[in-house]
């Protein structure tokens, strides 16, 4: 079926809205970073194999998108239909029922009432690996077989040699909004340059929830596997991962390899999300 998939997908929503997505093809990449500025939570660098096609949103979910699915409800502090939705918790998106504000999960509403037109594909949050693979350029920057073998034997090439520091550039001001240029607010999506895949706002603007539970030792466990296929830390913990930095934080938080985490019930003006469309699990 994979050869029949379109390279882009425009998902229709009520009131003439739509959500644009780009297909990410399978490949191997170096996840994490051992650069001088990297935190321990980003180490060690390890190989990850993405084994299936998936689609990822060109933009973070906007307030207009959220309102279209959630019957007009808009929790965002910085109001604007073209801005990312924020003040949404992981639980609001995935499980619902956190309180009276969001009784039904966004994903339940979306998949039940506005189902994908691609058979056997369903909307969900990206895994941390899917998010980073896409931020680093996905199949556009995937490793060759020779590079894979070199990494397995010599731990070369390093991530810093393969990928830009931020999603699409080594200059954050070209691709993202952060504490030095955001004027302390979110911005309308798509106003900076995209990365290699054509994805916007993966560095800065709002940080983005991922599916995984956070575990500071998870990368070490993945490294032991040699090439880890489709990693997902499903072992229950206290904190969920979010990635990409935001308007609120410094440049270091916006690097494609940096990992951050928060309680799944936490709502903040600097955390939103982006969707993937992937084969039903």
Residues 59-99 have pLDDT tens digits of: 999 999 999 999 999 999 999 999 999 999 999 999 999 99
Closest CA to 270 of 226, 209, 197, 194: 209
Mean pLDDT of 41-68: 98
Closest CA to 167 of 258, 36, 229: 258
So what's the pLDDT on residue 4?
A: 87
Domain boundary assignment for the chain: 2-274
Report CA-CA distances (Å) from 245 to 165, 202, 250.
12, 8, 8
Residues 97-112, mean pLDDT to the nearest whole number: 95
Mean pLDDT (the chain) is 97
Flag whether pLDDT at 125 surpasses 80. Answer: yes
For the cut 50, the answer to whether the pLDDT of residue 1 exceeds it is: no
CA 59 to chain centre: 10
Q: What pLDDT score does 104 carry?
A: 94
Picking from 19, 18, 23, 24, the residue whose alpha carbon sits closest to that of residue 8 is: 23
CA dihedral 124, 129, 135, 140 (to 10 degrees): -110
Q: Across residues 129-149, what is the average pLDDT? A: 98
- Look at residue 3 in the predicted model and tell me its pLDDT: 52
pTM of the model: 0.97
Closest residue by Cα to residue 81 from 190, 182, 173? 190
- The pLDDT, as a whole number, for residue 270 is 98
The whole-number average pLDDT for the span 128-136 is 98
Q: What CATH number has the domain spanning 2-274?
A: 3.90.1580.10
pLDDT at 251 over 60: yes
What local confidence, expressed as pLDDT, does residue 15 receive?
85
């Amino acid at each position: 079926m994979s050869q029949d998939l379109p390279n882009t997908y425009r998902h229709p929503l009520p009131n003439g809205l739509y959500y644009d997505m780009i297909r990410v093809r399978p490949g191997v990449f170096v996840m994490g970073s051992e650069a001088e500025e990297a935190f321990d939570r980003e180490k060690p660098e390890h190989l990850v194999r993405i084994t299936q096609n998936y689609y990822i949103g060109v933009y973070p979910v906007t307030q207009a998108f959220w309102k279209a699915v959630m019957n007009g409800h808009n929790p965002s502090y910085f109001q604007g239909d073209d801005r990312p939705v924020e003040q949404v918790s992981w639980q609001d998106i995935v499980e619902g029922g956190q309180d009276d504000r969001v009784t039904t999960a966004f994903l339940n509403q979306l998949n039940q009432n506005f189902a994908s037109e691609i058979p056997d594909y369903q909307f969900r949050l990206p895994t941390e690996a899917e998010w980073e693979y896409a931020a680093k350029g996905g199949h556009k920057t995937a490793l060759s077989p020779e590079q894979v073998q070199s990494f397995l034997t010599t731990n070369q090439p390093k991530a810093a040699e393969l990928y830009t520091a931020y999603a699409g550039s080594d200059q954050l001001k070209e691709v993202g909004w952060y504490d030095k240029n955001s004027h302390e607010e979110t911005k309308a999506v798509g106003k900076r340059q995209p990365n290699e895949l054509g994805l916007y706002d993966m560095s800065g603007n709002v940080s983005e929830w991922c599916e995984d539970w956070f575990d500071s030792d998870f990368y070490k466990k993945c490294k032991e596997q040699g090439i880890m296929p489709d990693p997902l830390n499903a072992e229950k913990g206290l904190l969920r991962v979010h990635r990409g930095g935001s308007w609120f934080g410094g440049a270091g938080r916006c690097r494609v390899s940096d990992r951050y985490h928060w309680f799944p019930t936490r709502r903040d003006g600097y955390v939103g999300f982006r969707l993937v469309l992937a084969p039903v699990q």
